[in-house]
C-alpha cells in the first residue's frame, strides 16, 4: 500500500489529556487505573476513568447529542489543536474531500441504561431520550462530523476491540479509491454498566490493576478513551521524521464468540498481511504494541502468534496495564502511543507486569527501552475473531 501520513494526532485517556500528558505518563510509567466508583457500579475491580467528562458542556446546537461518549469525544477533540488542524486541512482540500472513520464498541449505551431507570408506569422511555443522537453507533460520527464541520463520507466500525484499528483500513480504502484526500480516523469508547457487568459475568475482570503477560495475570481492567488521527496522502511535503501508516492487515478467524484461537491463527494472519502490505519482513519491525489484555487466553494466544511471526526476541509490551482496555478506542489510542514512541525514540515498558510469563516466550518489556525506532506494529484483536494489525513508520 502507499503510505499515508499522520499529519496530526491526539489522545485522551486516564493517563492524560492530550499528547504532553500522555507522553509524560508513558515515559514515567504512570498508570491511571483506580478502584471502580463509576456511576452505580461497585464491583471489586479497577477502571481507567477519564476525569472531567461529566463537566464537558456541548454547544446549544449540539444539545441532542449529549451523552458521556460524545462528551468524551469532544474532550479528546479539544486537545493539541486537533480541531484547528482539521479545519486547515478542510480549507485546503475542501470539506467534502475529508472523510471520517471512527470505531466504538458500545457508543452511548450508558444513556439507554439511564433511560431505562426512568421509565414511566407504562414502561415507556422518557420523552427526552434521543436514541439516534446518543446510543446509536453512528451518533458518534454524526456528532464529530458537526464539531469538525467536514462533509466527506463517514462511517462507524463496531467490531469490538478492533473497531478503531479497522477504521484506519476503511479510511485507507477510501483514499486509495480517490473518493477523499484525507480522513479523520479515531475511536471513542466510554464506561458503561453493560460493559463492566458484562465482562464481570464472563469472569474476565481482574480485581487488581490488570497485569498483561504476567505469569499471575487474572483478567482485564476496563478503561475509556478518545483518540484521533488526521491521515493525509504522503508526499514530498511530508516533513522528515513524520509518522506514516505504512501497512495494515485484517483477518477474521471466527474461532469463538469470546475466545481467540489458542494458537493465535487469526492474529498471525493479520500481522503477516500487515507486513506484506508494507513490503516488509518481520526483522524490519522494531517494537510491537501488543493487544495484551491480561487474560490467560488472550495473552497466551497472542504470544504464540507473535513468536511464530517474529521470533522470541522482538521488543514488545502492552500499554493496557496503564490505561486499561479501552475497547473500541484501543486501536486508535495505541496507534497514537506507537506514533509517540517513534517520534521520541523509546519503547514503553508494560505497567504492573512484574514477572512475564515464561510460557509465552516473548521479550516483554517491563521498563522503557531507549531505541531508535523506525517501525512499530500495533495489534488489536476483537471478540468473534475480528483482528487488525497496523504498521507505523517514521519517515
The percentage of the chain sitting over the pLDDT mark of 70, rounded to a whole number, equals 99
Which of 8, 135, 291, 304 does the annotation list as catalytic?
A: 291
pLDDT for residue 240: 78
- Has 325 been annotated as catalytic? yes
- Has 291 been annotated as catalytic? yes
Cell of 236: 514530498
Cell of 140: 458518534
pLDDT tens digits along 254-301:
777 667 777 789 999 999 999 999 999 999 999 999 999 999 999 999
Which of 14, 192, 325, 388 does the annotation list as catalytic?
A: 325
Is this prediction's pTM over 0.85? yes
Mapped onto helix, strand or coil, the DSSP state of residue 336 is: helix
If you average pLDDT over every residue of the chain, what do you get?
A: 96
Burial of 272 (0-12, 13-18, 19+ CB in 10 A): middle
pLDDT for residue 257: 67
For 320, other C-beta atoms within 10 Å of its C-beta total: 31
Cell of 354: 512484574
Which of 14, 158, 161, 192 does the annotation list as catalytic?
A: 161
Contact, 187 vs 77, CB < 8 A?
no
3-state helix, strand, coil in the chain (%, to 5): 40, 25, 40
pLDDT for residue 235: 82
- Has 313 been annotated as catalytic? no
Residue showing cell 505518563: 25
The percentage of the chain sitting over the pLDDT mark of 90, rounded to a whole number, equals 92
pLDDT tens digits along 108-133:
999 999 999 999 999 999 999 999 99
Q: Greater confidence, 221 or 42?
A: 221
Distance CA 232, CA 385 (A): 29
Distance CA 41, CA 57 (A): 24
Averaged over 209-222, what is the pLDDT?
98
Q: What are phi and psi of 232, to 5 degrees?
A: -135, 165
Distance CA 326, CA 333 (A): 8
Amino acid at each position: 500500500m502507499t503510505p499515508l501520513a499522520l499529519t496530526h494526532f491526539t489522545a485522551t485517556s486516564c493517563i492524560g489529556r492530550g499528547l504532553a500528558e500522555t507522553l509524560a505518563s508513558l515515559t514515567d510509567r504512570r498508570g491511571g487505573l483506580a478502584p471502580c466508583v463509576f456511576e452505580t457500579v461497585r464491583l471489586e475491580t479497577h477502571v481507567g476513568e477519564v476525569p472531567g467528562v461529566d463537566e464537558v458542556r456541548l454547544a446549544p446546537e449540539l444539545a441532542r447529542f449529549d451523552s458521556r461518549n460524545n462528551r468524551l469525544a469532544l474532550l479528546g477533540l479539544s486537545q493539541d489543536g486537533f480541531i484547528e488542524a482539521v479545519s486547515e486541512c478542510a480549507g485546503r482540500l475542501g470539506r467534502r474531500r475529508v472523510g471520517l472513520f471512527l470505531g466504538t464498541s458500545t457508543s452511548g449505551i450508558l444513556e439507554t441504561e439511564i433511560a431505562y431507570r426512568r421509565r414511566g408506569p407504562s414502561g415507556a422511555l422518557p420523552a427526552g431520550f434521543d436514541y439516534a443522537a446518543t446510543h446509536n453507533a453512528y451518533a458518534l460520527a454524526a456528532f464529530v462530523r458537526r464539531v469538525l464541520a467536514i462533509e466527506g463520507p463517514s462511517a462507524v466500525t463496531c467490531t469490538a476491540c478492533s473497531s478503531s484499528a479497522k477504521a484506519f483500513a476503511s479510511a485507507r480504502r477510501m483514499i486509495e479509491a480517490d473518493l477523499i484526500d484525507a480522513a479523520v480516523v479515531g475511536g471513542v469508547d466510554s464506561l458503561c454498566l453493560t460493559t463492566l457487568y458484562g465482562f464481570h459475568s464472563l469472569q474476565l475482570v481482574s480485581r487488581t490493576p490488570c497485569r498483561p503477560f504476567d505469569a499471575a495475570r487474572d483478567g482485564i481492567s476496563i478503561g475509556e478513551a478518545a483518540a484521533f488521527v488526521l491521515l493525509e496522502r504522503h508526499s514530498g511535503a511530508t516533513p522528515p521524521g513524520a509518522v506514516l501508516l505504512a501497512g495494515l492487515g485484517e483477518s477474521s478467524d471466527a474461532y469463538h464468540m469470546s475466545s481467540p484461537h489458542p494458537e493465535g491463527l487469526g492474529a498471525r494472519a493479520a500481522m503477516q498481511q500487515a507486513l506484506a502490505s508494507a513490503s516488509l519482513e518481520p526483522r524490519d519491525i522494531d517494537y510491537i504494541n501488543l493487544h495484551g489484555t491480561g487474560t490467560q487466553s488472550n495473552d497466551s494466544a497472542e504470544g504464540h502468534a507473535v513468536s511464530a511471526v517474529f521470533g522470541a526476541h522482538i521488543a514488545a509490551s502492552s500499554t493496557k496495564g496503564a490505561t486499561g482496555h479501552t475497547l473500541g478506542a484501543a486501536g486508535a489510542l495505541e496507534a497514537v502511543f506507537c506514533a509517540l514512541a517513534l517520534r521520541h525514540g523509546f519503547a514503553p515498558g508494560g505497567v504492573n507486569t512484574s514477572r512475564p510469563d515464561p510460557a509465552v516466550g516473548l521479550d516483554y518489556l517491563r521498563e522503557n527501552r531507549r531505541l531508535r525506532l523506525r517501525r512499530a506494529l500495533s495489534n488489536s484483536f476483537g471478540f468473534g475473531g475480528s483482528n487488525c494489525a497496523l504498521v507505523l513508520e517514521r519517515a
